[in-house]
Chains A and B, each alone.
Chain A
């Protein structure tokens, strides 16, 4: 239950907030140094990049959760995995996966700089 409503929440969240941020970022790059400076100010400089971390972590966590439950959908569509215990375990696995993948992503991103 929780997994399927989360699929909807994360998908809708990425489709609105994520889309606006991605388009803003691309348009800022295309707009030149001054327009990029505004984007950089808001997400990387303001409050030591607080907004960048809030939106960045929110979107990566949403993505990995949506990806995991999306793959689970593919498997359920084949008609497998409906037995209660395996359905529960797979649901649990999507949470474990999305949290670990988000931690790995940010550890790599920050560690590499």
Chain B
């Protein structure tokens, strides 16, 4: 790439056209988080107990499994965008690339495990409690 100052190198290129979308998606997921997290806090507080026999059939119900999957998508997407901003504010160059890679890896892996777990519980509900 041509040398010069950092400003000189980017001047005239325009924006990457992704900033506004990032910002807006972050707000939209903040709004869906608000509803889904309030739902979550309320249903957790209302559970009569937290042992396996209570929690498993509870999670298996469509009324819990579906909002729970929506919550995973909304909250994980929201914090994926949020942590990107935090990383961009504090780390630069190679470390930033490495951390962004780790962040993507983390969010994809954790959401896959979470959604798989919910679906497994929901789809094996009729078969009783598998070991």
Contacts and interface: CB of A to CB of B under 8 A. Distances in A.
Interface string B54-65: 011001000000
A8 B79 contact: no
B55 A29 contact: yes
Nearest to B38: A67
Nearest to B53: A33
A53 to B, nearest CB: 13
Interface in B70-88: 76, 79, 82-83, 86
B99 interface: no
Interface string B36-70: 01100100111011111001100100000000100
Contacts of B45: 105, 108-109, 112
B100 interface: no
A98 interface: no
Contacts of B31: 74
Interface string B98-112: 000000001000100
- Identify which of A44, A73, A109 gathers the most chain B CB atoms within 10 Å of its CB: A109
Contacts of B56: 29, 36
Interface in A20-67: 20, 22-23, 26-27, 29-34, 36-37, 40, 44, 60, 63, 67
A86 B34 CA distance: 23
Contacts of B9: none
Contacts of B38: 67
A113 B44 CA distance: 12
Interface of B is mostly: helix
B49 A113 contact: yes
Interface of B: 27, 30-31, 33-34, 37-38, 41, 44-46, 48-52, 55-56, 59, 68, 76, 79, 82-83, 86, 106, 110, 113-114, 116-118, 120-121, 129-131
Interface residues of A, number: 34
Given A12-B86, A14-B79, A33-B131, A26 B30 contact: no
Interface string A4-22: 0000100110110001101
Contacts of A15: 79, 82-83
A12 B82 contact: yes
A34 B52 CA distance: 9
Contacts of B116: 30
